[in-house]
């Protein structure tokens, strides 16, 4: 019973952060719908941004780029943050400025009631577009050491949660850090059936947003 007020405070804090981000326009897509369709129809496009962090999944390696610009039809468009998936591990350092070629697509809104809504999850991180990366065209060293420090801290926190949780590290990392790659599919199904799958994303998203939004 004594822990309930603290849970309520956490929920109110998360709600406040969501409303604040919404007021700042985090829910507005960077590109108009017609242009999004044209970009998705293109075979290849190029993006350039600063590497925030990397996530090693079971079948892919993904990079998160912030302050990203899309080059399309000889013009440059800001698209905020983007997650790029590669089939193989990429050896790059956080804070580096990367130029990447691949196919871009829009994060789709979930239409099934009670299901995990990827669009809301990504929008809270300023992510509206995902990319299947084909190759890294250019790597330039970054000038800000903070992303490197944050990535190292992120990795240490993940390791600590794996060590102290005795098999539940995936859930802890999802709720506290927004890292869902280690959550078992059966666990996700249980949360979805209970209508609480969003809890595995929203809390962690806000933790990451507080760290990354001003870099």
DSSP structure string for 158-181: HHHHHHHTTT-HHHHHHHHH---T
Q: What total number of domains does the chain contain? A: 2
Domain C-terminal end among 94, 119, 140: 140
- Could you give the 3-state DSSP secondary structure of residue 206? helix
Which segments of the chain have a pLDDT < 70? 1-27, 58, 110-116, 144-152, 164-215
Angle of helix 146-164 relative to helix 169-177, nearest 10 degrees, comes to 150
Q: How far apart are CA 132 and CA 116, in angstroms?
A: 22
Q: 186 with 204, same domain?
A: yes
The crossing angle, in degrees rounded to 10, of helices 202-212 and 169-177 is 50
pTM of the prediction? 0.64
Where do we find the tokens 């944050």?
150
What pLDDT does 153 receive? 74
- Residue-level pLDDT at 122: 83
Q: What is the pLDDT of residue 72?
A: 93
Confidence at residue 24, expressed as pLDDT on a 0 to 100 scale:
46
Residue range(s) defining the domain that contains residue 200:
146-212
Query: Which of 110, 140, 170 corresponds to the end of one domain?
Result: 140
Per the prediction, the chain carries an average pLDDT of 75
pLDDT score of 88: 87
pLDDT recorded at residue 6: 61
pLDDT computed for residue 214 by the predictor: 46
pLDDT score of 141: 86
């Amino acid at each position: 019973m004594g822990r309930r007020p603290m849970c309520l405070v956490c929920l109110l804090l998360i709600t406040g952060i969501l409303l604040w981000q919404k007021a700042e326009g985090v829910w507005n897509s960077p590109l108009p719908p017609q242009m999004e369709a044209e970009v998705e129809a293109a075979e290849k496009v190029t993006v350039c941004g600063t590497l925030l962090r990397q996530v090693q999944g079971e079948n892919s390696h993904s990079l998160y780029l912030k302050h990203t610009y899309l080059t399309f039809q000889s013009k440059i468009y800001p698209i905020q943050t983007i997650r790029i998936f590669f089939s193989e591990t990429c050896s790059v350092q956080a804070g580096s400025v990367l130029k990447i070629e691949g196919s871009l697509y829009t994060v789709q809104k979930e239409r099934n009631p009670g299901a995990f809504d990827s669009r809301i999850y990504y929008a809270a991180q300023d992510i509206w577009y995902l990319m299947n990366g084909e190759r890294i065209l250019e790597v330039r060293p970054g000038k800000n050491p903070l992303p490197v420090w944050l990535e190292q801290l992120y990795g240490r926190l993940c390791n600590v949660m794996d060590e102290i949780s005795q098999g539940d590290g995936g859930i802890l990392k999802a709720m506290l850090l927004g890292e869902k790659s280690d959550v078992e599919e059966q666990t996700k199904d249980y949360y979805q059936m209970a209508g609480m799958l969003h809890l595995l994303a929203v809390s962690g998203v806000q933790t990451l947003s507080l760290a990354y939004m001003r870099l």
